[in-house]
Amino acid sequence: MADEPSAVPRTVTLALTGASGMPYGVRLLECLLAAQVRVYLLYSQVAQVVAKQEMDLSLPGRAREVQEFFARRFHAAEDQLRVFGREEWFAPVASGSNPADAMVICPCTMGTLAAVACGLADNLIERAADVMLKEHRPLVLVPRETPLSAIHLENMLRLSRAGAVILPANPGFYHHPAGVEDLVDFVVARVLDQLRIPHRLMARWGEAEPDSEQ
């Protein structure tokens, strides 16, 4: 548990759901592990489909295999990464007695966003998010959809009022991105800022080179 609300989280729950934008989620996982954060990783079934579609990433079917896959890929320390299946109700994240210090759903579908807004808690992602809200711990959702319906907007407002941070996957262009990786890092940097995790993904506003034209 973090010592105080503003402390850097030692443990973060990261949920990947089946929205476009899987590179944001995978890059965020890489950055969290590189920052020595302990990560509980959750993923929906459609997240596997999108990972294949967008990144040609074949996530194994079993949580333990996904754990080995990402731990190897991102050189995680032993026990730094734990992956849980959608109905592993005995995972720490399922209970308010042992939640992570913060949680991020990235990318976040409108379906999962709606389920969290309604408190459904029907799978481990929804339950873990529900726990964060009831325990008043940081919950960041990175939704990706366009255009947004009144239902989407109402759900986001509801979550925001309940204490969640809605951080849409909207990269800016004022830092003159050289490519897709810079756009991904823009969004991931904003998520890390919310978590108060130090990073050097991109220059901060007002700290760019004097001759740049931000």
Ligand X SMILES: Cc1cc2nc3c(=O)[nH]c(=O)nc-3n(C[C@H](O)[C@H](O)[C@H](O)COP(=O)(O)O)c2cc1C
Residue bearing tokens 């999962």: 112
Amino acid (1-letter code) at residue 111: G
Q: Is 4 exposed, middle or buried (0-12, 13-18, 19+ CB in 10 A)?
A: exposed
The residue among 18 and 171 lying less far from ligand X, judged by its C-beta, is: 18
31 contacts ligand X (rule: CB under 6 A): no
- With contact defined as beta carbons under 8 Å apart, do 159 and 168 qualify? no
Element (DSSP H or E) covering residue 15: strand 11-16
CB of 123 vs ligand X, minimal distance in Å: 7
Half-sphere exposure for 2 (CA within 13 Å, toward CB): 21
Is 53 a residue that touches ligand X (CB under 6 A)? yes
Closest by Cα among 87, 86, 88, 94 to 131: 94
Q: Which of 14, 19, 41, 42 binds ligand X (CB under 6 A)?
A: 19
Q: Which of 144, 167, 187, 192 binds ligand X (CB under 6 A)?
A: 144
Residue 149 or 212 having the CB closest to ligand X: 149
Of 94-113, binders to ligand X (CB under 6 A) are: 109-112
- Which neighbouring-strand residues pair with 105? 15, 141
Task: State yes or no: residue 48 binds ligand X (CB under 6 A).
Answer: no
50 binds ligand X, rule: CB under 6 A = yes
Site of interaction with ligand X (CB under 6 A)? 17-20, 44, 46-47, 49-50, 53, 109-112, 144-145
